[in-house]
Amino acid sequence: MSLAYFRSLLITDPLIVLSTILMGSLSLLVSLFDSSGRVQHRISRAWSRMLLRISGVKVTIEGIEKIDPKGSYVFVANHASFMDTPVVLALIPSQFRFMAKQGLFHIPFLGTHLRRAGHLAVVRGDPRASLKSATEAARIIRERGISVLLFPEGGRNAGPLRPFKEGAAYIAIKAGVPAVPIVMIGTREVLPMGSMQINRRPVTLRIGDPIPTVNLSVKDRTELTNTLRERILELLGQSPQVHASQ
């Protein structure tokens, strides 16, 4: 067994567990006094930065100037690793909420945190429930002036970029806010699927140009979804034409 394995087992993993328990408990306590979720989001950002520091993961961010911290957006990202979540939380300066699969909301402690922080559940396999969740997300964006982040592949993916679901485009159009493609490169090497060992590897967070939706209708959601996928492929340094033929 390698030195990196023992370092992760004896030092990194226990510190991550300890920091998660402490910051998660603080977040739940704060939620009793702050129903907006804004303070909880700041605590989550602090936890994420702590986790990256403990893990020895250095992140380079590109295109941060394209984001107005006070603006509202629908962020659309690739999803290759559990490490994606702390990366976006630590470095994207906007107040945003996740659209997460419903199963996560049933996990003790985690589910309570997600609900109290204002994150939204996505019901897979039920089109009517999914549409209701997307409509609710658009309403929250408009009324609260925050953003949401989605992984439109529907889950982590260890291979080529999968086709996107249309929820992100629908929400952006209904809310009348820009859709922003973002990619994370290197998180899969930091924490591969099926592994619990965190590796010290560099990560790049790359933000694309916001795509306006003001003049679009929900009928345009398929075209916007395709455009978002093409932009993400470009940000990943891959050819949309090649992937379109797969």
Q: What pLDDT shows up at residue 125?
A: 72
| Residue 154 DSSP label | S
Tokens representing residue 6 in the block: 């023992």
**Beta strands 59-62 and 179-185, pairing class:** unpaired
10-residue mean pLDDT profile of the chain (246 residues): values are 60 84 88 86 94 94 95 96 95 90 77 79 77 90 93 86 93 97 96 86 97 95 97 88 50
CB 39 within 8 A of CB 184: no
Q: In this predicted structure, what is the pLDDT of residue 7?
A: 64
Q: pTM of the entire structure? A: 0.89
- What are the residue ranges spanned by the domains of the chain? 58-244
Instruction: For residues 158 and 1, give the distance between their C-alpha atoms in angstroms, rounded to a whole number.
Output: 24
How far apart are the C-alpha atoms of 246 and 233, rounded to whole Å?
13
- The DSSP annotation for 184-222 comes to EESHHHHS-TT--------EEEEE---B--TT--GGGHH
pLDDT at 197: 83
* CATH annotation of 58-244: 3.40.1130.10
Q: What tokens were used for 53?
A: 């520091």
Among residues 90, 20, 16, which one has the least CA distance to residue 59? Answer: 90
